[in-house]
Amino acid sequence: MLYFDGTPATEAEIAPMLDVQIHRGPDQGAVIVDGVCGLGNRRLAIQDISPSGALPMRDGDNIIAFNGEIYNHPRLRRLLEMEGARYRSNSDTETILKLYRRDGQQLLHSLRGMFAFALWDTPNQRLTVARDRLGEKPLYYYHDERVFVFASEIKSLLMHPAVPRESAFDAHLLALYLGYGYIPAPLTAFKGIKALLPGHVITITGRDFQPQQYWTPPHPARYSPLTAEFEARKCDELREALGESVRQALISDVPLGAFLSGGLDSSLIVALMRRHQNGTIRTFSIGFAGDDSFDETQYARQVASRLGTEHTAFTVNPQAFDLAPTLVWHHDQPFADSSAIPTYLVSQLTRQQVTVALTGDGGDELFAGYERFYAHALVQRMAALPRSLWSGVANAIRVLPEGTGYYNVIKRAGRFARGASLPPALAYYDWIRLFNRDQIGALTGATSDDAGLHFAAQMGTRVELADLLRINMLTYLPDDLLIKTDRSSMAVSLETRAPFLDHWLVEMAATIPDNLKLKGSTTKYLLKKVAEDLLPAEIIHRPKHGFGVPLGAWLRTDIRHVRDLLLDARARERGLLDTAAVTRLLDEHAAGKRDHGGRLWSLLTLELWHRLFIDAAQPVKP
């Protein structure tokens, strides 16, 4: 925290903020107060686990609170020591302090890694608060006329007496949440609390400040005529950049492993770990009882056997409804992505053996891995067909019952046809949105499509593959995927690392023409070329499979509990959602007419968030 009016910061104010997020750092915690500024840190010890690496850390007149990993710390340290810097630890945190002494705020351009930090410069009475380029590590803040307060999690902010605990949900925010399935940053579910965007920094020397962008994601290259020589050169560049990213992500003084789903991205990460690391590599996967279409553990075992890893596969039974309050607590906001369930469970089980796990996050965003990218290209090729034809197909499919399986044909065909009936930007959004315009209107009474308009404003006028990759990098990746991974893993004190999101690799990938990412019907074309000498062909070329759970089937089993929660007096009295519309969703799902599993999950997390964070006299962990 930083007081603008001269009020001294106190340890008594910061200690409760630390206690509520002890899961993020169970190994050590402390507070340093310096006049109007106070910094607190919980530490998950990864690099230099000795007391000399304790946080917050002071170096002369500068103090830092830090979350994350600086992967190029060893190289930076060697350079700084050659220039005369003297270290008292082996911690990457100390390298940030030494860089600040040399470069000031320009230090950000030297860092490769994932991070959020706050650095207090006592002589200049200056606070610098920064977040990594891609948004792997979170940072939230609140300010009024007297104080600026910041933390890794919103629940921590709520422990400060100056921060109000009031819902920000109005008609517009509700429409955004129901459309996206998450709340797009910098907005949050709480009035007055904002998320610092990825690649941004806040510098405070007085009362006035504005977040400044220090890194801009590169716009992916568009279509380009190709030669065999050019393709081979880009393949070599990608292989080298990805190998370097994995190699540097292996730095750790504690046990390290990897999530292994059996898909291309996680399998390639593990294959490169094998290339750069001798000895045992521990890998982990998870499967679910009750629906084989969601179970990838057989592919994970195949990759583990091929690469010689020490593999652990978990199988769990349905428990979505029981897990919901815990997940809402850790996410601090309503969050509709049900893949948080398997991410939390595999993190929980992985943490029993290791402290750090590498992931394949980011591969789909960089290299066009989602089927919706191919769907977009397919619609463009069939542009001569009138949209009214697709609308008629969508209406015909709508009368057919939907199954809950991962590859359910009726559900997928209906979604494709509905999107194909819309203009290009809205077509793409329709494939990713949770509730469509009509459903949001029925639930909220809204007459405008606020969510669609919000997406279209960010999308811009061009809707080519390169533009779709950019919008995914700016929205879905930081606001959904990385939040899910961070909260689910840190809930159990497990650090996850995503080698695909090294910003050097991101910048290199942006130079690859989009027709080397999606080539014909082949998604992630060039990445698959890189994998050819590392993985079996049946893993490289098997159909895309997201990290999901049989949520629709699970919620049908729990439909009575879901109904009781969404239709009880407290939920109705909020006046946020039309009771008849909610009832219709429940009835259609229970009868098997529609798979509303994801939509009902979003409404569950919305209601549970109100109960845990707004209704309660004090937020209490469930």
Residue-wise pLDDT tens digits, 62-110: 999 999 999 999 999 999 999 999 999 999 999 999 999 999 999 999 9
Start-end of CATH 3.60.20.10 domains in the chain: 2-213
Q: Contact 289/402 with Cβ under 8 angstroms?
A: no
Query: Collapsing DSSP states into helix, strand and coil, what is residue 115?
Result: strand
Residue ranges, comma separated, of all CATH 3.40.50.620 domains in the chain are 228-368+486-540
Beta carbons within 10 angstroms of residue 298's beta carbon? 12
pLDDT above 80: residue 296? no
B/e letters for 402-426, b = 16+ CB within 10 Å, e = fewer, are: bbbbbebeebbebbbbbbbbbebbb
**Is 515 exposed, middle or buried (CB count within 10 Å of its CB: 0-12, 13-18, 19+)?**
buried
- At residue 407, the pLDDT reads 57
Distance, CA of 232 to chain centre: 32
Give the model confidence (pLDDT) of 548-581 as tens digits: 678 888 888 889 999 999 999 999 999 999 999 9
What are the φ and ψ backbone dihedral angles of 189, each rounded to 5 degrees?
-75, -5
Q: What pLDDT score does 405 carry?
A: 57
Distance CA 609, CA 147 (A): 26
Q: What percent of the chain has pLDDT over 90?
A: 77
Please list the alpha-helical segments (H only) found in 337-493: 340-350, 363-367, 371-381, 387-398, 409-420, 424-432, 437-444, 450-459, 465-474, 476, 482-490
The continuous run of DSSP H or E covering 244 comes out as: helix 228-248
Q: What rounded mean pLDDT belongs to the chain? A: 92
The string of pLDDT tens digits covering residues 368-389 is: 999 889 888 888 888 777 777 8
Q: What does the pLDDT look like over 221-245, one tens digit per residue?
A: 999 998 999 999 999 999 999 999 9
Indicate if the pLDDT at residue 22 is higher than 70: yes
pLDDT at 439 over 60: yes
* Rg for the chain, CA atoms, rounded: 24
Please, what is the angle between helix 297-307 and helix 264-276, to 10°?
20
Query: Across the beta sheet with 212-213, what order do the strands follow?
Result: 57-59, 62-70, 113-121, 126-131, 200-204, 212-213
Range with top average pLDDT, 310-314, 353-357, 393-397 = 353-357
Of the pLDDT bands very low, low, confident and very high (cuts 50, 70, 90), residue 618 is confident
Backbone conformation region of residue 422, classed left if phi is above 0, alpha if psi is from -120 to 50, else beta = beta
> Rounded to an integer, what distance in angstroms lies between the CA atom of residue 68 and that of residue 93?
9
Predicted confidence at residue 305, as pLDDT, reads 95
Question: Which residue in 416, 411, 404 sits closest to 294, CA to CA?
Answer: 404
Architecture of the domain delimited by 228-368+486-540: 3-Layer(aba) Sandwich (3.40)
- Indicate whether 339 pLDDT > 80: yes
Centre a 10 Å sphere on the Cβ of residue 88 and count the other Cβ atoms it contains.
Answer: 10
- Asked if residue 404 has pLDDT above 80, the reply is no
Residue 487 has pLDDT above 90, yes or no: yes
Q: Dihedral through CA 571, CA 573, CA 578, CA 581, nearest 10?
A: 40
Instruction: Report whether pLDDT(157) > 90.
Output: yes
CA distances to 215, 326, 494, 606, 619 from 344, in Å: 30, 10, 10, 19, 21
Mean pLDDT of 417-433: 82
- pLDDT given for residue 391 in this prediction: 77
CATH number of the domain at 2-213, out of 3.30.1360.70, 3.10.20.340, 3.60.20.10, 3.10.20.30?
3.60.20.10
**Confidence class for position 412, pLDDT limits 50, 70, 90:** confident
Q: Look at 545 and 353; give whichever has higher pLDDT.
A: 353
pLDDT band at residue 481 using 50, 70 and 90 as cut-offs: very high
123: CB partners within 8 A, 6+ apart: 61
- Any residues with CB less than 8 A from the CB of 12 and at least 6 apart, and which? none
- Please tell me what DSSP assigns to residue 151: E
pLDDT of residue 141: 98
145-159, 160-174, 317-331: least confidently modelled range: 317-331
HSE-CB at 97 with a 13 A cutoff on CA atoms is 26
The β-bridge partners of 29 are 42
Query: Which residues, listed in sequence order, are joined to residue 3 by a DSSP beta bridge?
Result: 147
CA separation for the pair 488, 486 (Å, rounded): 6
- Mean pLDDT along residues 202-216: 94
pTM for this model (two decimals):
0.94
**Residue 547's pLDDT band (boundaries 50, 70, 90)?**
low
Query: Cα(377)–Cα(585) distance, rounded to whole angstroms?
Result: 32
Quick check: 397 and 413 in contact, CB under 8 A?
yes
pLDDT, residue 550, reads 80
